[in-house]
Amino acid sequence: MAEPDHVPSDHTTLTDVLEGYAEAGFISSFAAQDGAVVRCDTCGSELDPSRIHMRSLRRLEGASDPDDMLAVVALECGVCRASGTMVLRYGPAAADTDGDVLGALQDHRADGGLPGHAPPSETPDS
């Protein structure tokens, strides 16, 4: 099961994270759908999460509301190879759809290319 593993200690916004991944070439978008299915907005394929390579995952928690928990996942489509992001809620306020997809994603963060817990723009070596 893929789980968020990096707790940010700053006030980075969702926009900052999405822009950081876009600068690294993750410009497409993906959406979670019922039944633990992910839709690639580039090719329109509806994929089982096991056919998608998760390259990085950045957790965000609201500074004023700890229940505002988001995971920004950098992905690669298993059909068209488009690179993009998907935003999922996790924790007690998450919809079943988001939790099902997050739990089913195949974790390929150790395969290299991106920091496992953040876009390259947030890492000191970038």
Q: For position 104, what pLDDT does the model report?
A: 87
pLDDT at 3 over 60: no
- If one counts the domains in the chain, the total is 1
5, part of any domain = no
Instruction: Provide the mean pLDDT of the chain.
Output: 83
Amino acid found at 54:
M
Backbone torsion region of residue 43, taken as left when φ is above 0, otherwise alpha when ψ lies between -120 and 50, otherwise beta: alpha
pLDDT at 6 over 50: no
115, part of any domain = no
43, part of any domain = yes
pLDDT at 53 over 50: yes
pLDDT at 121 over 70: yes
52, part of any domain = yes
Residue range of the domain that includes 42: 14-107
Contact yes or no for 76/82 (Cβ under 8 A)? yes
Q: For position 92, what pLDDT does the model report?
A: 80
* Residue 72 DSSP code: E
Give pTM, 2 decimals.
0.82
21, part of any domain = yes
